[in-house]
Amino acid sequence: MIFRLALRSLLAHPVRTLVLACGFGLGVSVMATLLGVGEVILDQARSPALAGGGDVVLSSETGTIAAARWIVSSALRTGLFKQRIAVASPAGRATLFLVRNGEPVAIRARGGIPSLERALGDAETTQVAAWIDTPLDISWSSPEPGAALRALDRFHRIPDVPLRADSWAEWLYFNGRIGDTRFYLTFLVGPKRASGTRAGGVRLQLDRAGQLSSYSDSHDVDEAALLAEAPDLTIGSSRVRLEGLRYHVMLDLPLEHIDSRGRREVSSAARARGSLFLEGVAGRALPPLTIHGANGWLSGYVVPVMSGALTGRLDVGGQTIVFDGGAGYHDHNWGFWKDVSWQWGQVQHGGLSFVYGRVHPPADAADPDRIPGFLAALGPDGPVGFSMNVSIEETDDGGKDRPRSVTVRGRGAGLDLTMDLAVQNAAVTRTAGGLFGGGLDFLQLRGDYHVRGRAGTQSIDFTAAGVAETFRSR
């Protein structure tokens, strides 16, 4: 039928039909040519040679690579990468404006470190002898591992979001275990006070074979010192110091108890005192992840120590707890936390470390169903696998309003894992207003993970003690 209509049109109007056919064919050919040229341009834009030399370009799907200094100085200089990478050079691109005769002229500029650019064979830098490394270039490109770790673990200025300012908080979190004893430790700094200081608090929770006890203290913190020195942080009589790659935590905290009205109080009659040492490992960290939402909301997370050797001791009520030979973990969180909850967990075994999580934002910031989770696996030689296609399912324990089990599944190009947590114990903290809002209980879970599947090229099947966190409506 279509062929018959075309034939009749050609016989009735031969010139018009011929012109139409030629125009249609020309349009198709132009479109095909433009698509081909666009693909070539895109390939060239991604070419390492055009980016300044080298064989591989590392980029981020979300823009600027977070923690590039740590990646260059630590992640790319350990494990398998160390043997295969001759030189790695960071580069940044930006639009600059040159004002000429009162008229701005946009210039697309690229910056890098001259010595590293030359090592990659960049033709432009080799022709300008005046381009040499500044002291800042040298400290950035060849920092001590401890300096890179310190930059990874820095504190952040509070964003200018008046609507959410009173719910800003940032904290250093540590956990560790030896035998059937485990601790959870948080150094938290909250929103700014009228005096210009920041509210600060320290909380230690001890789990000794199922016997839970808590110790806490609170003092204001000078904001300028916090931003300049963190993760070195002092709150009252307790403090954190980063010494090279080792975290030295000194504690002196009074016992915490709950009064008849459910309020948290402290008593100086019993205290937890002592020092803990957690060893970081170059390359074994999870770089920063930051989620942004509407109305200025954000939530950030970084893991400076996925798994490290733990030593030290605590004196608690006349008893000494020795952590020598234990294993520890350290992460760092920041953001606006009112009406925010999360699911998180972590386990270590045989040189492998696993961490997963998902943040549930407030209703006015983002659709919770569109916020992905993550599951990361690190080994002795660095990253093993990572996935953002993650499901976290919790099965409650009868009328106890706490999970009996947690099942985590992660699927990705380099990861296919299932993690089943059998919950043995739960420490419950009420969020009665304040930073997190009211109506939720914060649960810290302890139990055994059964992890099975594949990470990278490794087949995995083990059971080990681990921890998790979640929330429940009151």
Partners of 434 in beta bridges = none
Rounded-to-integer distance, Cα 59 and Cα 350, Å: 31
| Greater model confidence, 375 or 259 | 375
pLDDT at residue 225, as a whole number: 93
Average the pLDDT over each of 48-62, 239-253, 257-271, 408-422 and give the range with the smallest value.
48-62
User: What's the average model confidence in pLDDT over 210-217?
Assistant: 89
pLDDT at 276: 98
> Looking at residue 259, what is its pLDDT?
59
Cβ contacts of 406-409, under 8 Å, gap ≥ 24: 406/343, 406/345, 406/445, 406/468, 406/470, 408/345, 408/356, 408/375
Q: How confident is the model at residue 265 (pLDDT cuts 50, 70, 90)?
A: low
For residue 201, the model assigns a pLDDT of: 95
Q: What is the mean pLDDT of residues 37-54?
A: 52
The answer to whether 317 and 294 have CB atoms below 8 angstroms apart is no
Give the residue with greater pLDDT, 283 vs 434.
Answer: 283
With bands split at pLDDT 50, 70 and 90, how would you rate the model's confidence at 135? confident
Asked if pLDDT for residue 409 goes beyond 80, the answer is yes
The residue among 77, 239, 241 whose CA lies nearest residue 145 is 77
Range with the largest mean pLDDT of 8-17, 50-59, 93-102, 177-186: 177-186
Confidence of residue 229 (pLDDT cuts 50, 70, 90): very high
pTM for the full model?
Answer: 0.80
Q: How far apart are CA 249 and CA 178, in angstroms?
A: 17
Q: What pLDDT score was predicted for residue 202?
A: 96
> What is the C-alpha separation between 299 and 371, in angstroms, rounded?
11
pLDDT in tens, 343-402: 999 999 988 999 999 999 999 999 888 888 999 998 887 788 889 999 999 998 777 778
Higher per-residue pLDDT: 363 or 42: 363
Rounded mean pLDDT, 298-325:
94
Q: pLDDT confidence of 15, banded at 50, 70, 90?
A: low
pLDDT of residue 131 exceeding 70, the answer is yes
Q: Report the chain's mean pLDDT, rounded to a whole number.
A: 83
50: pLDDT strictly greater than 60: no
pLDDT level of residue 61 (50, 70, 90 thresholds): low
> In sequence order, what are the beta bridge partners of 199?
220
pLDDT at 290 over 80: yes
pLDDT greater than 70 at residue 75? no
pLDDT tens, 176-199? Answer: 999 989 999 999 999 998 888 999
pLDDT above 80 (res 64): no
pLDDT of 145 above 70: yes
pLDDT reported for residue 182 = 92
Would you say 375 and 417 are in contact if contact means Cβ atoms under 8 Å apart? yes
Mean pLDDT of 158-177: 95
Distance CA 305, CA 242 (A): 12
User: Among 257, 259, 274, which Cα is nearest to 214's?
Assistant: 257
- Among 273-277, 291-295, 393-397, 429-433, the range with the most confident prediction by mean pLDDT is 273-277
Interval 387-406: pLDDT, tens: 999 999 999 877 777 899 99
Letter string b/e over residues 192-212, b meaning 16 or more CB atoms within 10 A of that residue's CB: eeeeebbbbbbbbbbbeeeee
Residue 126: the pLDDT is: 77
The pLDDT of residue 354:
95
Q: How far apart are CA 27 and CA 46, in angstroms?
A: 29
Q: What proportions of the chain, in percent to the nearest 5, are helix, strand and coil? A: 20, 50, 25
Residue 37 has pLDDT above 60, yes or no: no
Separation of alpha carbons 410 and 374, rounded Å: 8
Peptide bond into 231 cis (omega under 30): yes
